[in-house]
Chain A
Amino acid sequence: DTEVTQTPKHLVMGMTNKKSLKCEQHMGHRAMYWYKQKAKKPPELMFVYSYEKLSINESVPSRFSPECPNSSLLNLHLHALQPEDSALYLCASSQEPAFSYEQYFGPGTRLTVT
């Protein structure tokens, strides 16, 4: 199984809502990532979890809150988002927490903040 799954595929939320994005992998990978991607732009790193511990936070606003309940799961909790946060949110994993290892990406969650 070389798949990273993400739910939901699409999410529309208001600025006062609280929602969560979920990501799952069963490849035994020890690193998991959250990226944000705007149209016609490259993926932008948000967070890295290494062996279930947060190792990189790219100065992401606190309205985004990551969580890694176990080695296979990664969540991104959303609260009080702004319309400019509308984007494709990608989860990825890699065998080891090093960017020289290939990352396996999920299909993404298309988020629209109204």
Chain B
Amino acid sequence: DQQVKQNSPSLSVQEGRISILNCDYTNSMFDYFLWYKKYPAEGPTFLISISSIKDKNEDGRFTVFLNKSAKHLSLHIVPSQPGDSAVYFCAASVGAGKSTFGDGTTLTVKP
């Protein structure tokens, strides 16, 4: 049973527009969520996180929204830039416990 799902393997967006990456989870005990970005031949890089006591966290062009009732979180990138093209992983954990990663979404931002 995959507890964290990223149902869209890929997403293509025009430069300057909004990118919305989605993540669904099944374990209602998850209370901390993180997004990582990964370029080819590099390790993942932390982007942004949110705890379950919040429903939104913003950092520059990146905003994460959490809908606990729907067990859904999304990452918004506005405006999208070609350098944002990468694989994006969401991860969830229960307290300090082990993170569970989604399978990732490949974002392509076209100039």
User: Which A positions have Cβ atoms within 8 angstroms of B?
Assistant: 4, 6, 40-43, 45, 48, 56, 90-92, 97-100, 102-108
Contacts and interface: CB of A to CB of B under 8 A. Distances in A.
Query: DSSP class of A's interface residues: helix, strand, loop or mixed?
Result: loop
The range of chain B's interface size is: 20 to 34
Nearest to B90: A42
B102 A99 contact: no
Nearest 5 pairs of A and B residues by beta carbon: A105-B43, A98-B96, A42-B101, A102-B46, A100-B32
A43 B98 contact: no
A57 to B, nearest CB: 12
B111 interface: no
Contact of A105 (B44, B95, B103): B44
A100 B43 contact: no
